């Protein structure tokens, strides 16, 4: 990107950005002729990915700031008015604990209002799943939550939702971006004007209470909870995010003893006690596990800053806390939900769950053991919501659970995104249920392994920041397409599924191909001779390429210990082959 282009883009931004803090940043960079930093801020515009807009907070078109937020909202408005002509539109807006989240949320709401759209805004931080619930509860046409989910503190984001409460998917996402790129004028009102005209309404309790009631209503055994709640002790951390209000209220109303990590209870965009506010990262649970040991907790729970992701750790027989992966908790929840529906006589005629193409294959076996289907979709919870919506429209199958490997779970129909609050309530009940049978969650997980084989998963990520990052990642993917590996981890590759090209082909029989019935996406999957699946895809929200591997070792005479060792050996060898291509972090 040449200097003249950078200067022109920077000056245009300065002329349009009304907030001095962000405008001044770019003016100082221009005055200091910091071309490298300016290029990073202007070489592209933030685009909708698997989670909408997400970027580092700061001035520039490749940053999160009020102008980018207003631009995105104005483009969304234009698209909505074309999609729903002659309709009185409405929107819901929420935000999390990140820096500038309240300001970005208000900018969003006042841009909606400036375009004549009735907007419902929460007065303080609320979880992402509650925003999805609010859209459906209020019959809104769209919604936005300002959050960067589990990203580091320098990030913020903007998740756009459709009228069914799910995140925007094609063709709407690209259609919105086209309108965003065409924006020349932004229409907005002041807060006072929006309130006076009835175009802005503050919502809190009117949504909070129905949401909490809904979460409680999805539980299977309220009588068990009433009888046994006092026996279970839960330590919980919201990781400085939005989760404490609802998790404490819901679990507390059930009589459960919830001890929240005091240092992490209140919202704080600096996330001072963790490097990454992500329950997928083991260090994020250090304080909670420490408190769990002190309090002799039965389970440690964590939600990420916008409380859509949920993770747990549970004590083993020696009293040491074991982190449960997203795939493992998804397996436990699938088993518990299907089992509970069966025991209560509520199992649908054609039950189903939904997971993503990079989630454990164990789910298929668990579902099959209950006569249920496991439907796969692309990575990103919006695709799980899409399958759920289509199944409801068709009348069959009946989806009862959606889950993905990255700690996302949906156990209710009233929300169309992953919900860490309802997952916490369901996990609490599940813990009580297995405790009443004399088992821990780890005991039940071992039983599932004995029945379905031992499954282990692995994830590898490599960041490629800066203007050259996308081309580097594209080069890696293209090299895999042109010269696919014949073996990975010393195991033969039997077939390759190229979701971008909508084809599955066999390495040793080039004439044999199969169509892929999934939306196009830049994903490659390698199916190995032993059933292991290795997937590669560039992230939709961050400058990184991601690899996933899911392998199974059947449990033989050597028992679970040998099966675990075998799976570990396989994944170590696969990891070595992938690192040889992308390098180490």
CATH architecture of 327-452: 3-Layer(aba) Sandwich (3.40)
CA 115 – CA 70 distance, rounded (Å): 12
CATH 3.40.50.720 fits 211-322, yes or no: no
Please state which CATH number belongs to domain 454-582: 3.30.310
- Return the ∠ at Cα 374 (arms to 436 and 143), rounded to 5°: 90
pTM above 0.85, yes or no: yes
Asked whether the domain spanning 211-322 has the same topology as the one spanning 44-203, the reply is yes
Residue 149 appears among annotated catalytic residues: yes
CATH fold label, 44-203: Alpha-D-Glucose-1,6-Bisphosphate; Chain A, domain 3 (3.40.120)
pLDDT (tens place) for every residue of the chain, 585 residues total:
889 999 999 999 999 999 999 999 999 999 999 999 999 999 988 876 656 789 999 999 999 999 999 999 999 999 999 999 999 999 999 999 999 999 999 999 999 999 999 999 999 999 999 999 999 999 999 999 999 988 899 999 999 999 999 999 988 988 888 898 899 999 999 999 999 999 999 999 999 999 999 999 999 999 999 999 999 999 999 999 999 999 999 999 999 999 999 999 999 999 999 999 999 999 999 999 999 999 999 999 999 999 999 999 999 999 999 999 999 999 999 999 999 999 999 999 999 999 999 999 999 999 999 999 999 999 989 999 999 999 999 999 999 999 999 999 999 999 999 999 999 999 999 999 999 999 999 999 999 999 999 999 999 999 998 888 889 999 999 999 999 999 999 999 999 999 999 999 999 998 899 999 999 999 999 999 999 999 999 986 678 999 999 999 999 999 999 999 999 999 999 999 999 999 886
Q: How far is CA 10 from CA 15, 17, 28, 412, 544, in A?
A: 9, 10, 11, 46, 26
CA 229 – CA 526 distance, rounded (Å): 46
For the chain, percent helix, then strand, then coil, each to nearest 5? 45, 25, 35
**Angle subtended by helix axes 362-369 and 326-343, to nearest 10:** 10
Catalytic residue among 90, 97, 132, 149: 149
CA 374 – CA 351 distance, rounded (Å): 9
For the chain, domain boundaries? 1-38, 44-203, 211-322, 327-452, 454-582
């Amino acid at each position: 990107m040449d200097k003249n282009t950078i200067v022109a883009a920077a000056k245009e931004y300065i002329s349009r950005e009304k907030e001095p803090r962000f405008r001044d940043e770019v003016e100082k960079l221009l005055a200091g002729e910091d071309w490298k930093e300016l290029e990073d801020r202007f070489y592209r515009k933030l685009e909708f990915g698997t989670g909408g807009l997400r970027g580092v907070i700061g001035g520039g078109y490749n940053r999160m700031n009020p102008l980018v937020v207003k631009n995105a909202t104005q483009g969304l408005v234009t698209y909505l008015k074309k999609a729903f002509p002659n309709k009185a539109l409405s929107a819901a807006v929420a935000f999390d604990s990140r820096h500038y989240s309240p300001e970005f949320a208000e900018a969003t709401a006042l841009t909606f209002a400036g375009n004549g759209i009735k907007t419902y805004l929460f007065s303080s931080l609320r979880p992402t799943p509650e925003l999805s619930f609010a859209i459906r509860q209020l019959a809104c046409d769209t919604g936005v939550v300002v959050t960067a989910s589990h990203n580091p503190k320098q990030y913020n984001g903007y998740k756009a939702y459709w009228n069914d409460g799910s995140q925007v998917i094609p063709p709407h996402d690209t259609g919105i971006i086209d309108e965003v790129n065409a924006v020349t004028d932004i229409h907005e009102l002041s807060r006072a004007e929006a309130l006076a005209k009835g175009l802005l309404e503050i919502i809190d309790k009117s949504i909070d209470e129905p949401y909490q009631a809904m979460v409680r209503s999805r539980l299977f055994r309220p009588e068990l909870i009433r009888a046994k709640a006092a026996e279970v002790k839960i330590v919980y951390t919201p990781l400085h995010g939005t989760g404490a209000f609802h998790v404490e209220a819901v679990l507390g109303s059930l009589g459960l003893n919830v001890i929240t990590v005091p240092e992490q209870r209140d919202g704080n965009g600096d996330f001072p006690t963790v490097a990454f506010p992500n329950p997928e990262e083991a260090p994020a649970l250090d304080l909670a596990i420490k408190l769990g040991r002190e309090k002799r907790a039965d389970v440690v729970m964590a939600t990420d800053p916008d409380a859509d992701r949920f993770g747990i750790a549970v004590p083993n027989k020696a009293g040491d806390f074991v982190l449960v992966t997203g795939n493992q908790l998804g397996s436990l929840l699938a088993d518990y939900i299907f089992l509970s529906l069966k025991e209560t006589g509520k199992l649908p005629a054609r039950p189903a769950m939904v997971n993503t193409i990079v989630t454990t294959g164990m789910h298929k076996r668990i579902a099959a053991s209950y006569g249920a289907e496991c439907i796969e979709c692309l990575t990103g919870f919006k695709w799980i919501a899409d399958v759920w919506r289509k199944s409801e429209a068709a009348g069959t199958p009946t989806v009862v659970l959606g889950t993905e490997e990255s700690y996302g779970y949906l156990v209710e129909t009233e929300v169309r995104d992953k919900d860490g609050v309802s997952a916490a309530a369901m996990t609490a009940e599940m813990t009580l249920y297995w405790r009443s049978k004399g088992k821990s969650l780890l005991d039940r997980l071992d039983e599932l392994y004995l029945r379905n084989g031992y499954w282990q998963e692995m994830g590898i990520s490599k960041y490629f920041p800066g203007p050259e990052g996308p081309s580097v990642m594209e080069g890696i993917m293209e090299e895999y397409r042109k010269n696919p590996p014949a073996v990975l981890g010393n195991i033969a590759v039997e077939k390759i599924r190229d979701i971008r090209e909508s084809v599955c082909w066999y390495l040793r029989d080039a004439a044999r191909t199969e169509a892929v019935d999934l939306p196009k996406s830049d994903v490659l999957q390698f199916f190995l001779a032993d059933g292991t699946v290795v997937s590669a895809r560039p992230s939709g929200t961050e400058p990184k390429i991601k690899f996933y591997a899911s392998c199974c070792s059947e449990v033989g005479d050597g028992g679970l210990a040998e099966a675990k060792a075998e799976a570990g050996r396989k994944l170590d060898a696969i990891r070595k082959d992938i690192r040889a291509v992308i390098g180490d972090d």
